[in-house]
Structure 1
Amino acid sequence: MPKSAVPFLTFTTFLMCAQCYKYPLLENSDIVTNYSYKSLTSVPKNLSLRTTVLDLSHNNIQSLEATDFGYLLELKVLNMSHNLITELNASVFDSNIHMEYLDLSNNMLENISSPFPDQLHHLDISSNHFKTLSFCRGLGNLLQLKYLGLGAAQILKSDFEAITHLQLQHVFIELNHLLDYQNASLLMLNTNHLHLSLLSNQTCLFDVLFDAVNTSKFLELSNFGKWEAGKEIYKKYILDIASNSRVNRLTMKKLSLPWNILVFILQAIWHSSVESLHLYDFGIQQLIFKIPFNYSNTSMKELFLHNISTEVFLFDQMNLYRLFSEMNIENLTISSCNVLFMPCPLNQSTFQYIDFSNNAITDDIFPNCLTLTKLKTLKLSGNKLQMLSKVSSMTEKMESLEYLDVSRNPLYYNNEDCHWPQSIRELNLASCSLSNSVFQCLPNNIITLNLLSNEISHVPLQITKLENLEYLNLADNRISDLPDCTLFPHLMILNVEYNQIPYPSTESIEKCLSVKLMNIGHNPFHCFCEIRKLISAEISSPGKMIGWPDAYVCERPDNLNGVKLKDFYMPEIYCNIFILVPVIIVPTILGLTIIFVLCKYFDVPWFIKMIGQWTRTKHRTRRSKRGYQELEREFAFHAFVSYSEHDASWVKNIFLPNVEDMNDSLRICQHERNFEPGKSIVENIINCIEKSYKSIFILSPHFVQSEWCHYELYFAHHKLYSENTDNLILILLEPIPQYLIPSRYYKLKALMTQRTYLEWPKEKNKHGLFWANLKAAISVNISDLEQDRSCSLPSESS
């Protein structure tokens, strides 16, 4: 097998071949050893006894000895291609009875005397230095052989007589060194697929091709180089080969032909037995010009062109494209050929399948086309289509179109009218950068819709329902929740993997219950309470989530990153409000209620208020700038008490005894015992307030009705602001509604609003705290004051 034609078969290739030949794939227990590209000069001796697959390709090994593989009794696959092997020991493979695959291609073998294992399915000894194929006479016992690779300088009929009975599926013959070919030699082979490569000797060319087209129904020709132009004898040979052919499928790779020869060959094949023609990596020589072509009387059903290039770029492209557009065949594929456009067939076309993928086609393809009425499949993937509305208009008259692929095009939609054929059932719009608006331009009857890798963030609710849609692929977009499945009443498969869904909403999951299969994997799942609905959906319908559980992994919170959803657990109590309320919230509310009732019953707020007031009073006392010596020098009394005569009983029987009992030296100025006779009441009031460190006012509804109390309050208030002192104490004996306070008592209103006052509690258990607050408020020490510094006679202040 030549370097430029068929790549060497590595282990991966073997697996592909094994699958083609329906061989079972290697099991996980098999031992695979790869020593390729190691510059080895001999087979390693330290291989495992259980080795089943051994790759020693691309080394410098020159010979294979009997002991090289004798101990590898389980060896199935051996690749020795691309070495320098010149000889094989006669018994080199005697112990390898289980060998199925052997590749000795691209070496320097001149002869083979060793027998091959009887169980071989694949044997490749092409691209060596064989002069003849006489070694084929020793291959007759390989009854399991399916693939055979050969090559020699001379090919004779007698060489193939020993293998005529083998039921070969694929025969590859490398003809690079062919010098002599005996006619009818290839006809001795019994194979389904004949592959000829690297025929450089044009003397043998047509003899080999004449037999090749009669050897197998599947013929593959590759690396035949450039054909010389201008030789009319070519045409006779080509016609003879075509007219005598029994080939149904013809594949040609890596061939370069003049344009006129290519058209002539195509015309000859057109009238031959060939039903499927595949051309890969073709080069067109010389100028392309218009050549008449007879499209009638053909067996051709499929033409496949891939990677066709031209050496001349300045030509009338219509001469090239019109040749293909008028073909009366069923299937036409022209891919990776830089096609710019394709004219509409002039007459009613027989095309049922057209594939123009990976070209440079624009919106001008098939303009106003009315002749593609039988077309069922149209593939325009990987081109330069832009307007989705023009794509719909292009297909509108294709009344049989069922499948349309316009993926990997720079499509956009700007609210133009869309007109699709009613017959379309499958639409592929993958990788087109389309937004949500695409749902306004979709055929109503589609069954399969592929919107993979676009810019869709959600499915608009305003779209017309796609009543027949069964498969919707929205993978790799920007969707944050499942679409509303009620828009697609017959949806069976939904794919939204690789989006931005943290968790499907409960509503969206419930709306998609009728969907048979969903792929929501590979999304950035947030593993909180909301994700439990998705997990429950999989538990209730096992197998519904495609890719479960490996593709369903938590991303957030960070401590759960990488945890599979199947392993995620959150207690019901954290997520169910109906459990949370009775278990946590109700006891909390009940506890708070009990605390509130107890506080209310024991009047805790009042106690707290009083304690706070006592603390502030003590703090103010400590910070007072007036010391004991100043008090002794200026004041005769600790406090002056002002009250209404209606409250005298409380003052005399409760207030004074308790206050004076707190400290024997505490002196209270009371008008009944301390006012000086002979002086006016106002003068006594002023003198007592001036001689008292503090003024205590017993407030009650009666207090605000007393004129003298008003005077006393006025003078005390005046002293408060004139001397900038904090020596005013208010005691609220009974609550005073604001409406009872006369307007002239605006000072009292201001004081009660701005200053803290002591409330006389009715409950006895609160009296102790009341007296402590009062003592802290008075909190001065006036001892050794002279007894005669007093007011001698009381005055009525009612």
Structure 2
Amino acid sequence: MIVSFGERMIFLGLILISVSSGQGQECTTIIKNMEYSCFGRNLTHIPSSLPFTVTSLDFSFNFLISLHKCVFPLLFNLLFLDLTRCHIEHIENDTFYNVKNLTTLILTGNPITYFGPECLSSLHNLRKLVLVDVGLSSLQLQMNNLTKLQELRVGTNNIQSMSLPLFMSTFKDFSLLDLHANNISMITTNETAVFREIGRNMTLILSRNPLLYIEPGAFKDIYLKEFHIQSAFVSFNAQKECLEALAGLNVEKLFMGTYRSQWKVQVSNTSFLDGLCAFNFNEIYLIQKEWSDYDMHLFRCMINVTKITVKKAYIKSMKLFPFCCLKELHLGITFLSVVPVISHIPSLEKLVVKNNIPMTFNGISDLPLLQFVDLSGNLLILKDCCSQFFQRTPSIRYMNLSQNSEIGLVSKPFLGLDLLEVLDLHHTKLVVVFYFGCLRGLKNLKYLDISYTSITLTKQIIFQDLNNLTVLKMAGNSFHGDALSYLLQNLTNLEVLDISHCGIEKISRRSFFGTLKIRHLYLSQNKLMTLDFLAQPELKPLTSLYVDKNSITSISLHVLQKLPTNLSEFDLSSNPIDCSCSQTDFILWIILNQNILKQPENIFCKTLPPSSDLRATDFDIDSCVHKKRLTIALSLFFVTVVVLLSFLVYRFQFYLQYCCILLKGYRSPGQQECSYDAFVIFSSYDEVWVMNELMENLENGVPPIQLCLHMRDFQAGKSIASNIIDEGILGSRKIIVVVSQHFIDSAWCRFEFELAQSRFLMERNANIIIIILEDVEERKTKKVLGLHKHLKKNTYLKWSRDPLSNMRFWIRLKKAILDH
């Protein structure tokens, strides 16, 4: 689609508008003053806030459009610059002058239409230049000054010739040219002239190019460290012819075949790889998606190699080719049903077969140099392992039989394998016939993994000969009784022990006797409740300890004080930690040692309900300190209260007596028969007025009103408090309070008034009639509890000697008393 100039300008304008909001965003600091990332910040310029000391800058996925000398601030220390997908179209001369010390420049994914002839001239120290997917059509770049260049990556462009500029023959450090996914179909002798001058340390990547023709002799006398030609031919015929044209080429590592994502293809001509016989290669890495109904001679041209790695191939059998130099054989996913017979390869040192399908293993023999054997993940069943399967292979040091189906171990199963240093049997069912001697003779063994092998470890599995063992993994098995107390005593050089997921409930203190070098201890997913064994001196060298997913609620203070001083990684996560005030020492230790705790954010408290997620590090220890102080204070307070209580009970016994009466059941005057119409509360100093005026006018009036007066009506021999309550408060319908200065000063009057108020509060009616005998200052009325408030809210009577007022006083008083 052709886009007009006007449409392009509109598009660029929209981009600038869309990114304007992001111009002020700061870059992320990776290493202060050295490494920064501005990835995807929608920036349109290099931030001026970057320090001049910055050495690495990721500015990918921003908007620069055009590069010129003023784009970059003065950053002479900058070594790494990533400008991936910044929409760069133009690069002017001297653009990189202010960053001229760059060693790595990445311009991937920019639609560059113009390179200034001197745009790279200032980058004298550049070692890596990445121009992937920038629209290049040729390698003829102006790079004369890049004499230190080591890598040029120009994949995914439209380059049609691999011809390098002649001046690059002087680039003695140049070691990698990546031309993957370009449009190279023909290679001539002239195009490879520079490669002959560069040297032997060169890596050439031509994968995913549509190679159709290579001129014979084009690669003669060229030495490549690596040569990548995966999916690099337009047809099988072209592949055969091109490979034959590589005659005279010498390659250290050859990568060819197809990619994993490509579909398998059926071929009728099984000799499409015969062209490999035309040139020399030392190692080959192959992914073969081709298959045929006939036998494919996959290894015919590989008899002189030292290493073969077949990640995937559709082969059903492996013939006995006369490999003369083969040292390593790696076989991945194939159609092989039997582990290949390799006894005819005396030079073999390493064998790896990972087919991931059920296979049969008939054994290997007569391989004096074989040191490394990895047959893991093949679902093998070996009933009588292992000596009979490895005869006359005395040099084996590494043996991996893990992730298979079943292995049976009989008496002296590793006889003749005295040099074995690594034995890996994890996730393979072990059938141990004779426990006592199953590991006898392995004096050089350093690494043993019998994790998840479905065995029960007993006292009879003695590691008595394994004095050099440094790593022992027994996770996912079970222990019979206290077998752990005996198993480790001879392992004086043990450094790593993994007994996770074994259902262990307790570890005896004698379990680690003799193990003086353990540095890493894995006890995850057991049922441990205590860690008292950590106080043992044998565990002083411990640097990492994993006890996550156990049942640990706390660790005692004496254990915490004796923890190994070198402990730098301690995993306590996923345990039901008891976060209570009784465990403040342990919780405080957790808070103060988060630097050595692994995943401290996953150390949760055991709480009710269990769903609440309270982290141990968030527990409020200060509240516990306050509680302890409060407990002490309350204890002292309790003693004080007990001492004072007796005095208070005696001092205020009448108050208590009144409360008891109320608790027994209060009866209002309407619920009982009252002996008096009104109980009079007054000071003895006002007795003359009460007798001459109050009693005379009320009791001798019509109708007569019976008053309760303390000096006349209280029962002899009964306590004053009881008389006040029984005869006065509860025995009278109304209460008359005679307020005077003497009333205010009388403690008994105040007490009687307080009791009267309690009755008023219960009945919620005006049973208290207050008579102001003489004026009292307002501030003094506040001395009597509730009196001032009562006078403010209720109508009271005031005594006056005026005849008219006096007449009205007695009428209102009688009415108040007789009113129900």
1:727-768 residue CA offsets vs partner (Å, 9 max, x unmatched): xxxx9xxxxxxxxxxxxxxxxxxxxxxxxxxxx7xxxxxx42
Tell me whether 1:52 sits opposite 2:116 in the alignment: no
Change (3 A) 1:505 1:218: farther
Q: Distance in 2 between matches of 1:161 and 1:618?
A: 117
User: One-letter code of the match for 2:622?
Assistant: M
User: One-letter code of the match for 2:405?
Assistant: I
Structure-1 residue corresponding to 2:622: 570
Q: Distance in 1 between matches of 2:564 and 2:471?
A: 24
Give the superposed CA RMSD: 5.7
Unmatched 5+ stretches in structure 2: 1-30, 43-59, 74-79, 255-280, 677-707, 734-820
1:511-530 residue CA offsets vs partner (Å, 9 max, x unmatched): 42556334135456666556
Q: Distance in 2 between matches of 1:344 and 1:78?
A: 54
Change (3 A) 1:185 1:85: farther
3-state DSSP of counterpart to 1:584: helix
Conserved? CA contact 1:219–1:250, under 8 Å: yes
Conserved? CA contact 1:614–1:776, under 8 Å: no
3-state DSSP of counterpart to 1:174: coil
Residue 414 of structure 2: which of 370, 384, 409 is its match?
370
Tell me whether 1:533 sits opposite 2:615 in the alignment: no
Residue 317 of structure 2: which of 255, 259, 279 is its match?
259
Q: Distance in 1 between matches of 2:286 and 2:463?
A: 42
3-state DSSP of counterpart to 2:353: strand
Q: Distance in 2 between matches of 1:227 and 1:183?
A: 31
3-state DSSP of counterpart to 1:304: strand
Residue 426 of structure 1: which of 471, 477, 480 is its match?
471
Q: Distance in 1 between matches of 2:508 and 2:546?
A: 17
Task: Give the superposition deviation at 1:593.
Answer: 4.0
Conserved? CA contact 1:194–1:212, under 8 Å: no
Conserved? CA contact 2:343–2:367, under 8 Å: no
Structure-2 residue corresponding to 1:728: none
The range that moved more, 144-153 or 418-427, is 144-153
Residue 351 of structure 1: which of 369, 377, 396 is its match?
396
TM-score scaled by structure 1?
A: 0.58
Residue 521 of structure 2: which of 450, 453, 472 is its match?
472
Change (3 A) 1:512 1:388: farther
Change (3 A) 1:251 1:531: farther
Task: Give the superposition deviation at 1:345.
Answer: 3.4
Q: Distance in 1 between matches of 2:470 and 2:529?
A: 28
Structure-2 residue corresponding to 1:304: 352
Q: Distance in 1 between matches of 2:205 and 2:188?
A: 14
3-state DSSP of counterpart to 1:133: coil
Structure-2 residue corresponding to 1:610: 657
Task: Give the superposition deviation at 1:162.
Answer: 5.0
Structure-2 residue corresponding to 1:202: 240
Q: Distance in 2 between matches of 1:580 and 1:439?
A: 47
Residue 179 of structure 1: which of 213, 218, 226 is its match?
213
Tell me whether 1:459 sits opposite 2:500 in the alignment: no
1:125-150 residue CA offsets vs partner (Å, 9 max, x unmatched): 45766665322645335455443334
Q: Distance in 2 between matches of 1:617 and 1:26?
A: 83
User: One-letter code of the match for 1:588?
Assistant: F
Structure-2 residue corresponding to 1:31: 38
Q: How does 1:648-727 map to 2 (within 5 A)?
A: 662=710
User: One-letter code of the match for 1:202?
Assistant: K
Structure-2 residue corresponding to 1:222: 286
User: One-letter code of the match for 1:425?
Assistant: T
Task: Give the superposition deviation at 1:489.
Answer: 1.8
Structure-1 residue corresponding to 2:177: 148
Q: How does 1:465-544 map to 2 (within 5 A)?
A: 465-468=512-515, 469-475=518-524, 479=528, 481-486=530-535, 489-491=538-540, 492-496=542-546, 498-499=548-549, 501=552, 503-513=554-564, 516-520=567-571, 522-523=573-574, 529=581, 533-534=585-586
Structure-2 residue corresponding to 1:413: 456
Structure-2 residue corresponding to 1:769: 721
Conserved? CA contact 2:313–2:333, under 8 Å: yes
Unmatched 5+ stretches in structure 1: 1-23, 630-659, 669-730, 732-759, 761-766, 782-798
Q: Distance in 1 between matches of 2:665 and 2:608?
A: 53
1:405-463 residue CA offsets vs partner (Å, 9 max, x unmatched): 244x3636386843445313312245669999884685434424454762657433377
Conserved? CA contact 1:150–1:173, under 8 Å: yes
RCO comparison, higher one (Cα < 8 Å, 6+): 1
> When the two structures are aligned, how many residues end up with a matched partner?
590
3-state DSSP of counterpart to 2:539: coil
3-state DSSP of counterpart to 1:570: helix
Task: Give the superposition deviation at 1:334.
Answer: 2.9
1:680-724 residue CA offsets vs partner (Å, 9 max, x unmatched): xxxxxxxxxxxxxxxxxxxxxxxxxxxxxxxxxxxxxxxxxxxxx
Conserved? CA contact 1:417–1:441, under 8 Å: no
Task: Give the superposition deviation at 1:574.
Answer: 3.5
Q: Distance in 2 between matches of 1:517 and 1:392?
A: 37
Indicate the percent of aligned positions where both proteins have the same amino acid.
12
Structure-1 residue corresponding to 2:163: 134
User: One-letter code of the match for 2:363?
Assistant: R
Structure-1 residue corresponding to 2:806: none
Q: How does 1:60-139 map to 2 (within 5 A)?
A: 66=91, 70=95, 76-78=104-106, 80=108, 93=120, 100-104=127-131, 111-116=138-143, 117-118=146-147, 120-125=149-154, 132-135=161-164, 137-139=166-168
1:229-263 residue CA offsets vs partner (Å, 9 max, x unmatched): 98999887544xx1xx6x5x5544444445234x4
Q: Distance in 2 between matches of 1:231 and 1:208?
A: 25
Bigger-Rg structure (1/2): 1
Conserved? CA contact 2:188–2:214, under 8 Å: yes
Conserved? CA contact 1:283–1:308, under 8 Å: no
Q: Distance in 2 between matches of 1:121 and 1:327?
A: 42
Change (3 A) 1:533 1:348: farther
User: One-letter code of the match for 2:647?
Assistant: L
3-state DSSP of counterpart to 1:332: strand
User: One-letter code of the match for 1:188?
Assistant: I
Residue 332 of structure 1: which of 367, 373, 389 is its match?
373
Task: Give the superposition deviation at 1:386.
Answer: 6.3
Structure-2 residue corresponding to 1:792: none
Change (3 A) 1:771 1:627: closer
TM-score scaled by structure 2?
A: 0.56
Change (3 A) 1:448 1:593: same
1:143-180 residue CA offsets vs partner (Å, 9 max, x unmatched): 55443334754264872545644574754453862632
